[in-house]
Amino acid sequence: MTLTNKSNILIINGHPDSASFNAALADAYATGALGSGAQVRRLNLAELAFNPNLSFGYRKRTELEPDLIRAQELIRWAHHLVFVYPTWWGAMPALLKGFIDRVFLPGFAFKYRENSVLWDKLLSGRTAHLLVTMDTPSWYNRLVYRNAGHIVMKKNILKFSGINPVRITEFTPIKPSTPEQRAKWLKKAKTLGEKKS
Q: Convert the pLDDT of each residue in 130-159 to its tens digit.
A: 999 999 999 999 999 999 999 999 999 999
Work out the average pLDDT over 46-56. 96
pLDDT-derived band at 1 (thresholds 50, 70, 90) equals: very low
Instruction: Give the model's pLDDT for residue 6.
Output: 53
pLDDT at site 43 = 98
Contacting residues for 160 by C-beta, under 8 A, at least 6 apart: 109, 110, 119, 121
- Rounded to whole angstroms, the Cα distance separating 83 from 74 reads 13
Tell me the chain's radius of gyration from C-alpha atoms. Answer: 17
What's the CA gap between 89 and 84, in Å, rounded? 16
> Which uninterrupted H or E stretch holds 146?
none
> Is pTM, for the whole model, over 0.85?
yes
pLDDT of residue 4: 46
Instruction: For the chain, give the percent of residues with pLDDT over 70.
Output: 97
Under DSSP, the state recorded for 61 is P
For range 43-61, the mean pLDDT: 94
Q: pLDDT category, 2, cuts 50, 70, 90? A: very low
Question: What pLDDT is stored for residue 5 in this prediction?
Answer: 45
Instruction: Identify which of 102, 96, 160, 104 has the alpha carbon closest to the alpha carbon of residue 130.
Output: 96
- Residue 182: HSE in the Cβ half-sphere, 13 Å Cα cutoff: 14
